[in-house]
Amino acid sequence: MPIEIRCPECDEAEAIRGSEDGEVVALTCDACGFEWSRDPSPRCRSCGGTDLFPAIAAIVEKGRGTQLSIVGTRVEYLCETCQVGTLARYFKNRPNPLMPDELPNAR
């Protein structure tokens, strides 16, 4: 899931440009001229914590007939506080990627 970045001043999402400044990303809104910085470290969306584990998650699509196929993988950061069950499921099935909670309709 891509991160949507919006200007905190005018809520613009398209006219945003950024550059790396060491460990921080410096952002500028071309619509209103507002400048701010963003720490690129991943954070939990639920608790805001930084104790995250990078897990390989499967991207699944409907193939032929009722067949479901893994068409790719992506990194999903799992919170060690909020997603204990998902982390346990990931470690139990390693080296296989984490399957999505909801699979595409196979009909």
> For the segment 44-83, what is each residue's pLDDT rounded down to a tens digit?
888 988 899 999 999 998 877 778 888 999 999 999 999 9
Domain with 3, as residue range(s), is 1-40
* Cα-based distances in Å from 102 to 15, 28, 59: 34, 37, 11
Residues 60, 61, 66, 67: is their CA dihedral positive or negative? negative
- Both 76 and 47 in one domain: the answer is yes
Q: Strand 16-21: give its sheet, edge to edge.
A: 16-21, 24-29, 35-38
In a domain, 106, yes or no: no
Task: Give the number of domains in the chain.
Answer: 2
Residue type, 62: K
Range 10-37 average pLDDT: 89
Q: Using the predicted structure, report yes or no on whether residue 1 has a pLDDT greater than 50.
A: no
The pLDDT assigned to 3 comes to 65
pLDDT value of residue 88: 93
Does 94 lie in the same domain as 46?
Answer: yes
Residues listed for the chain: 107
Specify the higher pLDDT residue, 8 or 40: 8
**Nearest-CA neighbor of 70 among 27, 105, 34, 99?**
99
